[in-house]
Amino acid sequence: MEAVLSSKFYITSPIYYVNDIPHIGHAYTTIIVDTLARFARLKGKEVYCLTGTDEHGQKIEQSAQKKGKSPKEYVDEISRNFKNLWDEFGISYDHFIRTTDDYHIKTAQMAFLKMFEKGDIYKGKYEGHYCISCESFFTKFQLIGENYCPDCGKETTLLQEESYFFRLSAYQERLLKFYEHNPNFILPKFRRNEVINFVKDGLEDLSITRTTFDWGIKLPQNLIHQDHNNAKHVMYVWLDALINYLSALGFYNDLEDRRDFWAANYHIVGKDILRFHAIYWIAFLMSLDLPLPHHIAAHGWWTKEGAKMSKSVGNVVNPKEVVEAYGLDCFRYFVLREVPFGQDGDFSQKSLMERINSDLSNDLGNLLNRLLGMSAKYFNNALQVDLENLKKHYSTEFSQINKVLKSLETYMEEVQTNRYLEEIWTLFSLGNGIIAKKEPWNLIKEGKNEEVAELLIFLANLLIKSALCLSPFIPKSAESILSVFGLKAESRNYKKFVLENGLLPQIQLCAIPALFPKVENILLEEKETKNSQNPTTNTPLEITNPILKEDFFKIEIKVGTILSAEELPKSEKLLKLQVDLGEARARQILAGIKAHYTPQSLIGKQVCVLANLKPAKLMGELSEGMILAAKDEKGLTLITPQNLKKNGSSIS
């Protein structure tokens, strides 16, 4: 584990689009950012942590009109909601940026001008499909069906307007070389291929201005002076938004100069905006001749009890309500522990209660309570032992602790917060296990007070080290634990007890109220969703083509990963796929999905396969299974597992 260094560390959340109140996804992203920032401070680094709000675009203009407000009035209100919530949550950001701030507008205009003067921006005419909801452009080949957005499924708008373009196509090879030379740039690593495949599929120049609405950043004045027609152009919201990572540091504006924090150590984003950051943003920076970020880390989405959250359904989780009911640190622990980074997570109060009662109350809270109870009962809270004897008698356990502590930094570097926490929890299992094994209450009866004191000092040092490592995750609770030993979550203590394996042979304990009381009942009233309003009728449903359970059990549906995909000559519908089902060789499957998916977009994708379908020949090629898909009026979508599964896993 590296020594504590006084180096710069710059981390950002995305700036959140101000079209509604903050939801659990916003909170999850921001808590990850806050945790990494706190961890860097604990290591002694000088940290600059950025968050904020993205406030321009057609969607904002339309939402404001519906509310009967001006766009600025509308964004002021929603932006305030975000900032207030992060303050209530104790998010340790250093700057909160708004894209309506004057200094940001100045930076965006200067960046536009620099790219224009370099020859990377030119005027043309845009004709294509635009999704207002995602603020994204799509070619007809990317659409679902004839006219639906591949990201959100909503109908797109066909646009024809004068536009400035960024020469994204000119950066295709340079981007691919960058990804090749920086294999850890995109985290988690399994998302790397989807970005590389998107770029390899061919990059088109990017439309970066709009003329059909006004709510956006205008072009630089000298471009307007050159051509008065430029006054009707506003910047594409994603160009405007991404530039915030520079404007907050004082690039091309009058803010305090913090440019020495660049390049960013981490941009933390949701998986839905990975493409914008890993492709567009990097190309913009290349055009500006600026250093490139070290990592872009993309997390998954949250569902509610297995269902996608939707305001229309009424199952969106309000993080403020959850925190008010269950406590901030319990919520932080749950979202950081429950799901592997990059995978989708599922929120339920039942799962949250289980984490609180099992992990926080039983494992951690109980260990601390036992230490405090026995120290007060047997030693009046004053513990002292010979340090060398302590090291000798617990050498195996200290070796195990140190091994765990050395593994933690790698997990944080890869944003694997769940693995980090899992490792720390092995230490609490170790502590509780030793109490059960040694039975100190019996040792006291036998007059072995020194042996019990050593045990309690061992447990105290285990909790000190663990609490320091937990302080970025559950800050208030970790501070409470450390206060028992008269310590704080500071870089000097982290260095002494974690990096240098320091131990305290003498401790005066201070009692604190019990942490993490058990939750006996659900604390938030579950709102009835539209999907839950089932008709109360005993009329049986008519089942089309009914089968018996025995028939169903004959079906073998398995998870597989698409290794390669290519068009089948002379076929308008079929693609030829090689699919890994965990067998001795890959299966060849012909799928009629050519109208909905490009071959490159399928590589690395996990799918569900009807595996025991009798092989058949189609157009002279063997097909050894069937890919499952769903189709409605919006087009066709492949059925995929919610989380990554081992190839060959059965679906039942």
Which of the four pLDDT bands, split at 50, 70 and 90, describes residue 16? very high
Asked if 115 contacts 168 with a C-beta cutoff of 8 angstroms, the reply is: no
Checking if the pLDDT of 531 tops 80, the result is no
pLDDT at 652: 74
- On the question of pLDDT at 3 being above 50, the answer is no
Residue 201 identity: D
pLDDT band at 532; cut points 50, 70, 90: very low
Which part of the chain has CATH 1.10.730.10? 346-508
Question: pLDDT-derived band of residue 20, with 50, 70 and 90 as boundaries?
Answer: confident
Residue with tokens 């009424």: 314
User: If pLDDT is split at 50, 70 and 90, which confidence band does 169 have?
Assistant: very high
- Whether residue 385 contacts residue 448, with contact meaning beta carbons closer than 8 Å, is answered with no
What is the C-alpha to C-alpha distance for residues 449 and 382, in angstroms, rounded to an integer?
A: 13
Buried residues in 385-409 as b, exposed as e (16+ CB within 10 A): beeeebeebbeebbeebeebbeebb
Contact 342, 407 (CB under 8 A): no
If you average pLDDT over residues 41-68, what whole number do you get?
94
Q: What is residue 603's predicted lDDT score, i.e. its pLDDT?
A: 84
**Residue 149 is labelled as binding a ligand:** yes
Say how many CA atoms lie within 13 Å of 473 toward its Cβ.
Answer: 23
Please check whether residue 217 is in contact with residue 57, taking contact to mean a CB–CB distance below 8 angstroms.
Answer: no
Alpha-carbon span 333 to 474, nearest angstrom? 7
Decide: 554 and 610 in contact? Cβ < 8 Å: no
Please state, in angstroms and rounded to a whole number, the distance separating the CA atoms of residues 503 and 456.
13
Given a cut of 50, whether residue 4 has pLDDT beyond it is no
Taking the C-alpha atoms of residue 490 and residue 511, their distance in angstroms, rounded to an integer, is: 21
Instruction: Supply the pLDDT for residue 541.
Output: 56
Tokens standing for residue 645: 């599964």
Is the CB of residue 529 less than 8 Å from the CB of residue 314? Answer: yes
State the residue for tokens 């009026």: 633
Residue 49 annotated as binding? no
Eight-class DSSP state of 592: S
Q: Which residues are within 8 A (CB) of 419 and not within 5 positions of it... i.e. 6 or more apart?
A: 340, 411
Task: Over range 201-214, report the average pLDDT.
Answer: 93
Tens-place pLDDT, residues 420-451: 999 999 999 999 999 999 999 999 999 999 99
- Provide CB contacts within 8 A for 549, sequence distance 6+: none
Which regions of the chain carry the CATH code 2.40.50.140? 549-651
pLDDT band at 625; cut points 50, 70, 90: very high
Query: What digits encode the pLDDT tens for the residues 339-372?
Result: 999 999 999 999 999 999 999 999 999 999 999 9
pLDDT value, residue 649:
86
Percent of the chain with pLDDT over 70: 94
Entry pTM: 0.80
- pLDDT tens, position by position, 243-255: 999 999 999 999 9
Query: Comparing 216-230, 356-370, 558-572, 577-591, which segment has the lowest mean pLDDT?
Result: 558-572
Chain centroid to Cα 267, Å, comes to 10
User: Residue 469 annotated as binding?
Assistant: no
d(CA 319, CA 69): 26
Q: What is the pLDDT of residue 530?
A: 61
Q: Check residues 331 and 594 and name the one with the higher pLDDT.
A: 331
For residue 538, pLDDT beyond 60: no
Q: By the 8 A CB rule, do 463 and 431 touch?
A: yes
> Residue type for 496, please?
K
Please provide the DSSP assignment of 493-543 as one string: HHIIIIIS----SEEE----PPSS----S--SPPPPPGGG------PPPPP
Q: Which residues pair with 158 in a beta bridge?
A: 129
Between the alpha carbon of residue 27 and those of residues 31, 318, 499, 588, the distances in Å are 6, 9, 31, 43
Supply the pLDDT for residue 202: 94
Mean pLDDT of 485-500: 97
Q: Domain 346-508 carries which CATH code?
A: 1.10.730.10
Classified by CATH at the fold level, domain 549-651 comes out as OB fold (Dihydrolipoamide Acetyltransferase, E2P) (2.40.50)
Nearest to 454 by CA among 501, 508, 388: 388
Give dist(CA 109, CA 286) in Å, integer. Answer: 17
Higher pLDDT, 533 or 244: 244
Position with higher pLDDT, 1 vs 182: 182
* pLDDT, averaged across the chain: 91
The per-residue pLDDT for range 252-275, each reduced to its tens digit, is: 999 999 999 999 999 999 999 999
pLDDT at 2 over 60: no
CB 504 within 8 A of CB 464: yes
Q: Which residue has the tokens 């519906």?
A: 66
Confirm if 495 and 487 have CB atoms less than 8 A apart: no
The pLDDT of residue 588 is 94
608 labelled binding-site residue: no
CB atoms near residue 276 (< 10 Å) = 19
> Coil, strand, or helix at residue 453?
helix
- What phi and psi values does residue 449 have, to the nearest 5 degrees? -65, -40
Q: Which range among 4-18, 409-423, 469-483, 487-501 shows the weakest confidence by mean pLDDT?
A: 4-18
Signed CA dihedral, 421, 426, 431, 433: sign only: positive
